[in-house]
């Protein structure tokens, strides 16, 4: 059985590498841990990769080497993938989630996984949705940020196992949310970014919302560091935050790679103009003006798509001449969307039973 599985995977990989490519017409892309999903032009959701926790949303709990339709004939306007769960917003602002549910990240008042989309139990309506490690957050149509699951893991226990949507920020002037890691990042109408909860910078991974020890320096709060900047993109990982300012400058604060120095304030990390910034727990990627993808940070599983197997201290271009419109990442896999609406993926995310790694962008069928 294992031999047959390996042969099927090899045939799939060969077919993916052939031109002209795979499924076209995707207009959005989101990446989870070992899986990914996208929306087609009609709003239907398609997922691929690991699926035993129900994260593909097909109702079967199985992996798929090709994109498969999410069950239920839903039409979504926004889509997000977390660690092993995913969620979508329909055109009425109703949130639907599927996959693993350890901390209540599906928002259905339980901790039981769901193999197909299940409606989030709330009367609130949302305009944007973001999935993180063990949480989901959404921006209310009338303002406010609502979250369910476990937000702020390793930072605070204030937002633990919220089994139903809970208001975590009542602000009505927010226009962007991003929550791929354990921290939620938001941008208001003035371009000001902040993190929920507000972590410290250059601290360990332990709980850091208190200053332990009389002789230790006062911890530097991330939000104070970003307060005076105007940002078009903003996101955070475990130990860092990055943003792109109005001039297209890519800035970061904190420790993005284990071996790099910790930046005590936002500093430029690359020259040029960037957009479409995204973060995972330990890495960050963005696109330049030509559509090339640049990444930096932890590089386990060669997730960054660069030639070097080690950490990437400064942003480096991924090893392809292709141009992309969007990039989506997680800690072990990444994908990008080209001008035809094709998803190209790399890292350790297609195979669930062995250690195969896609070292170059590979088109998804």
CA-to-CA distance for 47 and 75, rounded, in angstroms? 14
Is the pLDDT score of 217 beyond 80?
no
Is the pLDDT score of 215 beyond 60?
no
Q: How many CA atoms lie within 13 A of 270 on its CB side?
A: 25
Instruction: Name the residue with higher pLDDT: 361 or 327.
Output: 327
Q: Which domain holds residue 342?
A: 2-209+218-363
* Residues 69-98: b if buried by 16+ CB within 10 A, e if exposed: ebbbebebbbbbbbbbbbbbbbeebbbbbb
Is the pLDDT score of 308 beyond 80?
no
Lowest mean pLDDT, pick from 89-93, 210-214, 259-263:
210-214
Of 202, 191, 287, 298, the closest CA to residue 234 belongs to 191
CA-to-CA distance for 247 and 273, rounded, in angstroms? 7
CA-to-CA distance for 172 and 188, rounded, in angstroms? 9
**pLDDT recorded at residue 212:** 43
CA-to-CA distance for 348 and 299, rounded, in angstroms? 11
Of 260, 289, 257, 254, the closest CA to residue 275 belongs to 289
**pLDDT recorded at residue 22:** 60
Overall residue count recorded for the chain in this entry = 365
Mean pLDDT for all residues in the chain: 86
The arithmetic mean of pLDDT across residues 81-110, rounded, is 96
pTM above 0.85, yes or no: yes
Looking at mean pLDDT, say which of 8-12, 13-17, 19-23, 184-188 comes out highest: 184-188
Dihedral (Cα; 242, 38, 34, 65), 10-degree rounding: -150
**pLDDT recorded at residue 155:** 83
Of 36, 16, 13, the closest CA to residue 330 belongs to 36
> What confidence category does residue 201 fall into, taking pLDDT thresholds of 50, 70 and 90?
confident
Contact 210, 199 (CB under 8 A): no
> What confidence category does residue 9 fall into, taking pLDDT thresholds of 50, 70 and 90?
very low
CA-to-CA distance for 2 and 281, rounded, in angstroms? 32
Is the pLDDT score of 3 beyond 50?
no
CA distances to 72, 142, 200, 255 from 217, in Å: 53, 40, 12, 17
> What confidence category does residue 45 fall into, taking pLDDT thresholds of 50, 70 and 90?
very high
Collapse the DSSP code of 220 into the 3-class scheme (helix H, G, I; strand E, B; otherwise coil) and give the result. Answer: strand
Instruction: Name the residue with higher pLDDT: 275 or 14.
Output: 275
Is the pLDDT score of 336 beyond 60?
yes
**pLDDT recorded at residue 189:** 96
Instruction: Name the residue with higher pLDDT: 13 or 42.
Output: 42
**pLDDT recorded at residue 56:** 97
**pLDDT recorded at residue 6:** 31
Is the pLDDT score of 307 beyond 90?
no
Is the pLDDT score of 360 beyond 80?
no
- Cα 93 from chain centroid (whole Å): 21
Collapse the DSSP code of 296 into the 3-class scheme (helix H, G, I; strand E, B; otherwise coil) and give the result. Answer: strand
Instruction: Name the residue with higher pLDDT: 61 or 98.
Output: 98
> What confidence category does residue 247 fall into, taking pLDDT thresholds of 50, 70 and 90?
very high
The CATH number assigned to the domain holding 14 equals 2.130.10.30
**pLDDT recorded at residue 305:** 82
Is the pLDDT score of 313 beyond 90?
no
**pLDDT recorded at residue 306:** 82
pLDDT in tens, 136-193: 999 999 999 999 999 988 788 889 889 999 999 999 999 999 988 889 999 999 999 9
**pLDDT recorded at residue 301:** 72
174-178: strand order across its sheet: 174-178, 184-188, 193-196
Collapse the DSSP code of 356 into the 3-class scheme (helix H, G, I; strand E, B; otherwise coil) and give the result. Answer: coil
The arithmetic mean of pLDDT across residues 324-345, rounded, is 93
- Number of domains present in the structure of the chain: 1
pLDDT in tens, 101-131: 999 999 999 999 999 999 999 999 999 999 9
Is the pLDDT score of 351 beyond 70?
no
Whether omega for the bond prior to residue 197 falls within 30 degrees of 0, making it cis, is yes
């Amino acid at each position: 059985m294992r031999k047959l599985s390996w042969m099927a995977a090899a045939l799939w990989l060969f077919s993916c590498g052939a031109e002209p490519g795979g499924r076209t017409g995707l207009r959005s892309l989101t990446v989870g841990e070992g899986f990914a999903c996208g929306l087609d032009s009609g709003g239907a959701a398609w997922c691929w990769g690991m699926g035993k926790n129900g994260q593909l949303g097909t109702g079967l709990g199985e992996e798929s080497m090709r994109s498969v339709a999410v069950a239920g004939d839903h039409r979504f306007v926004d889509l997000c993938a977390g660690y092993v769960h995913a969620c979508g917003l329909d055109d009425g602002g109703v949130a639907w989630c599927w996959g693993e549910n350890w901390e209540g990240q599906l928002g259905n008042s339980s901790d039981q996984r769901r193999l197909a989309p299940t409606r989030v139990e709330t009367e609130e309506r949302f305009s944007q949705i973001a999935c993180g490690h063990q949480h989901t957050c959404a921006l209310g149509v009338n303002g406010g940020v609502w979250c369910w699951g476990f937000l702020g893991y390793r930072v605070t226990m204030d937002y633990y196992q919220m089994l139903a949507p809970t208001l975590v920020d009542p602000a009505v002037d927010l226009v962007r949310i991003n929550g791929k890691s354990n921290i939620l990042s938001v941008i208001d109408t003035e371009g000001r970014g902040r993190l929920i909860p507000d972590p410290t910078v250059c601290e360990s991974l332990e709980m850091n919302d208190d200053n332990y020890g009389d002789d230790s320096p006062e911890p530097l709060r991330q939000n104070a560091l970003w307060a005076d900047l105007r940002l078009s993109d903003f996101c955070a990982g475990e130990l860092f935050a990055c943003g792109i300012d109005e001039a297209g400058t890519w800035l970061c604060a904190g420790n993005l790679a284990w071996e790099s120095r910790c930046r005590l304030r936002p500093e430029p990390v690359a020259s040029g103009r960037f957009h479409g910034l995204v973060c995972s727990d330990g890495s960050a990627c963005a696109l330049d003006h030509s559509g090339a993808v640049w990444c930096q940070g932890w590089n386990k599983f060669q997730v960054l798509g660069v030639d070097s197997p080690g950490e990437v201290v400064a942003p480096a271009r991924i090893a392809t001449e292709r141009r992309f419109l969007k990039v989506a990442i997680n800690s072990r896999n990444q994908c990008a969307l080209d001008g035809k609406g094709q998803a190209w993926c790399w890292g350790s995310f297609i195979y669930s039973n062995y250690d195969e790694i896609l070292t170059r962008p590979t088109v998804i069928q």
